[in-house]
A and B are shown apart, each in its own frame.
Chain A
Amino acid sequence: MRYTFKRIGLLLITMLLVSFLTFLAFTLVSGDPAQTKLGTEATPERLAALRQEWGLDQPFFTRYFRWLAGFFSGNLGVSYHYSKPVWDLIASKVGVTLCMCLLSFLIITVVSIPLGIWSYRWVGGPFDWLRTAFNQLCMAVPPFFTGMLVSYGFGIVLRMFVPGNVPDLHTNFGAAVKHLFFAAVCIAIPRIAMTIRMMRSTVISEMNKSYVRTAISRGNDRHAVLTRHVLKNSLVSTITFLGQTMAEIIGGSIVVEQVFGIPGLGRFLVASIGYRDYPVVQTIVVLLAFWVVLVGTIADLLNQTIDPRLRLGGKA
């Protein structure tokens, strides 16, 4: 329990750090929100008025603490570009991206875990090299390249979905999921290959450990040993790896959302950085950070439950 609290505390610290870094980045990045908003119509008077309205004329720390206070009281600020409360803008996008990432994660888990276990049996087999090479190939193809081919092939030629028109998640869940499925697969393919590769090498190294050799030499069925001991012991590293994958999927989703024209968080982040819409960017970055750290924390806590020895190590 104490450990859980410690992890949650660390989670908060990380998020604070991220929000501070983002805020700092804004003051250093060239490009002025007021100038971006007014474009080529800008006059010095209107620029000054906007900067004042947004509080950009205040000192750095005043602005940061004001934002922080707002954040903790549930006020995420108002978007510069849209003149709308930030949360109203991003709420639906959180849903879309979350749905796509969870879908992708589901595909990765469902496909790679059985294949990962199974792959142990290929070791030394006649076509093992072919499988390994294929695995490497899957890792090598960039998701946005797959994305282009998939959206052209399945979307435009086969008309299985309509790129550029994602059905609304609330009113038409099934159709939206079907649409997002194609993007999720593109994100999943290289990750599946990585997970299989990781699992395979963990299982192999575990099988070579003396306790396994002893167990087998005492006449236990190889497969029974595999399922009873080896898998349990390699579960820890698999969970850690999948946790990391879950965090990285979000990063990978940015480009794929662009390719498929999916109105998600990543695309919104890119566009908002372009508009220098700092209240929006700030919120999205903190949300993403929360996601990354949360997934890591969950993976950690899960591992503690599976293997209590890890808890004694005590270090975060």
Chain B
Amino acid sequence: MKNKKINGYLLAGIIITAFLLLLTVYGAIHTPYSPTAYTGMKFEAPSAAHLFGTDKLGRDIFSRVLKGMGTTLSVALITVIIGAVVGTAVGAVTGYFGGLVDDTLMRINDALTAFPSILMALLVISLLGPERKSSLILALGIVFIPSFARVTRTAFASLRDVNYITSARLMGAGNGRILLLHLLPNTGRVLLPALTIGFNNAVLAEASMSFLRITPLETSLGYMLSEAQGMLATAPWYALSTGLVIALLVFGVGLIGEGLQQRNKEA
């Protein structure tokens, strides 16, 4: 039914995301001003010269947001990929084999869920050295493993004893083959929404870390938003522009997820 509507979410999501991605790529190559140079007075209101106005050091907020999107996007994407790949592997093993492996890994999983991500970030930075971006990515990646593991584990466990899997096993297919060829494609149903929610959470997590000044990344959207909080009275455009860009970023990806899910359901 109503294929048009279903593709509507997907289309809208793709348009928004593509637009933001294009801006990010554009920002990586060229920004109207250098994001760190002083190109105006402090706290200039938005104008043709400075689309989003200027910040407390007189830097162009639009250029900074462009750079910030790159930082935030790359951190979120890699984080989700780490979380999804490792999490799915853990979920597959625990869900498929069950027993002691399951019990052990899931306890560690629970422990990781309860472990504060701030402490994890500090830990990874201490171990990897002060190169913030890769440390933060790894730390958040680890933080995201448990949720993916939990989601996929249920999917693998529920498929384990389905007829065609049992027959595949009887026909002599190895565990690895069954996991990869028969089970993995079937977990897409749960993995897909988990991915979009994961991306959502990753953007917010990066922003939170910068916000708490644990691992501030230069020109990240979260860091800029935290700076902007104290300037709501004199420069509301600072908080609004960064906050809305974060929201739009997550919104676009959320719509894609919604669209994909609905299309899957139809199929």
Interface residues of A (CB under 8 A from B): 10, 13-14, 17-18, 21-22, 25, 28-31, 124, 128-129, 132-133, 136-137, 139-145, 148-149, 152, 194, 201, 204-205, 247, 251, 254-255, 258-259, 269-270, 273, 281, 285, 288-289, 291-293, 296, 315-316
Interface membership of chain B positions 248-260, coded 1 if the CB is closer than 8 angstroms to chain A and 0 otherwise:
1111001100100
Q: Which residue of A lies closest to B2 (CB)?
A: A124
Say if the beta carbon of B127 comes within 8 Å of chain A.
Answer: yes
Which residues in A have their C-beta under 8 angstroms from that of B243? 141-142, 145, 148-149
Q: Which residue of B lies closest to A290 (CB)?
A: B114
Pairwise interchain contact B251-A315, C-beta atoms closer than 8 A: no
A22 vs B118: C-alpha distance when bound (angstroms)? 12
Which residues in A have their C-beta under 8 angstroms from that of B249? 140
Assuming A132-B258, A259-B229, A316-B102, what are 4 further A-B pairs, CB within 8 angstroms?
A: A29-B126, A143-B204, A296-B110, A316-B106
Among B108, B200, B207, contact of A144 (Cβ-Cβ < 8 Å):
B207
13 contacts between A and B (CB under 8 A): A25-B122, A29-B122, A29-B126, A31-B126, A137-B247, A140-B250, A140-B251, A141-B243, A145-B247, A255-B208, A258-B211, A273-B116, A285-B116
Pairwise interchain contact B110-A14, C-beta atoms closer than 8 A: yes
Q: Which residue of A lies closest to B207 (CB)?
A: A142
A38 vs B112: C-alpha distance when bound (angstroms)? 32
A31 vs B121: C-alpha distance when bound (angstroms)? 14
Q: Give min CB distance, B138 to chain A, whole Å.
A: 14
Which residues in B have their C-beta under 8 angstroms from that of A141? 243, 247, 250
Pairwise interchain contact A140-B248, C-beta atoms closer than 8 A: yes
Interface centre among A136, A152, A269 (most CB of B within 10 A): A136
A273 vs B255: C-alpha distance when bound (angstroms)? 37
Say if the beta carbon of B225 comes within 8 Å of chain A.
Answer: yes
Q: Give min CB distance, A171 to chain B, whole Å.
A: 30
Among B118, B248, B251, contact of A270 (Cβ-Cβ < 8 Å):
B118
Known: A140-B250, A142-B243, A145-B243. A255 touches B212 (CB 8 A): yes
Pairwise interchain contact A285-B115, C-beta atoms closer than 8 A: yes
Pairwise interchain contact A28-B126, C-beta atoms closer than 8 A: yes
Which A-B residue pairs are the 3 nearest by beta carbons? Answer: A289-B114, A140-B250, A140-B251
Which residues in A have their C-beta under 8 angstroms from that of B229? 148, 259
Say if the beta carbon of B81 comes within 8 Å of chain A.
Answer: no
Among A31, A139, A273, contact of B118 (Cβ-Cβ < 8 Å):
A273
Which residues in A have their C-beta under 8 angstroms from that of B247? 137, 140-142, 145
Q: Give min CB distance, B267 to chain A, whole Å.
A: 13
214-267 of chain B: CB within 8 A of chain A: 214, 225, 228-229, 232, 239, 243, 246-251, 254-255, 258, 261, 265
Which residues in B have their C-beta under 8 angstroms from that of A269? 116, 118
Known: A29-B122, A315-B98. A288 touches B114 (CB 8 A): yes
Pairwise interchain contact B119-A285, C-beta atoms closer than 8 A: yes
Pairwise interchain contact A255-B211, C-beta atoms closer than 8 A: yes
Pairwise interchain contact A273-B207, C-beta atoms closer than 8 A: no
A22 vs B114: C-alpha distance when bound (angstroms)? 10
Say if the beta carbon of B31 comes within 8 Å of chain A.
Answer: no
Pairwise interchain contact A17-B118, C-beta atoms closer than 8 A: no
A133 vs B255: C-alpha distance when bound (angstroms)? 7
A258 vs B209: C-alpha distance when bound (angstroms)? 12
Which residues in A have their C-beta under 8 angstroms from that of B5? 128-129
Say if the beta carbon of B111 comes within 8 Å of chain A.
Answer: yes
Which residues in A have their C-beta under 8 angstroms from that of B119? 22, 25, 29, 273, 281, 285
Q: Give min CB distance, A91 to chain B, whole Å.
A: 20
Among A18, A204, A247, contact of B111 (Cβ-Cβ < 8 Å):
A18
40-58 of chain B: CB within 8 A of chain A: none
A124 vs B123: C-alpha distance when bound (angstroms)? 49
Which residues in A have their C-beta under 8 angstroms from that of B107? 10, 13-14, 17
Known: A281-B119, A315-B98. A140 touches B114 (CB 8 A): no
1-58 of chain B: CB within 8 A of chain A: 1-2, 5, 8-9, 12
Which residues in A have their C-beta under 8 angstroms from that of B113? 247, 292
Q: Which residue of B lies closest to A146 (CB)?
A: B243
Known: A145-B243, A259-B229, A316-B106. A21 touches B111 (CB 8 A): yes
Known: A29-B119, A259-B229, A270-B118. A144 touches B110 (CB 8 A): no
Pairwise interchain contact A132-B157, C-beta atoms closer than 8 A: no
A181 vs B157: C-alpha distance when bound (angstroms)? 40
Q: Give min CB distance, B214 to chain A, whole Å.
A: 8
A41 vs B30: C-alpha distance when bound (angstroms)? 47
Which residues in B have their C-beta under 8 angstroms from that of A291? 114
A292 vs B117: C-alpha distance when bound (angstroms)? 14
A144 vs B232: C-alpha distance when bound (angstroms)? 14
A37 vs B174: C-alpha distance when bound (angstroms)? 58
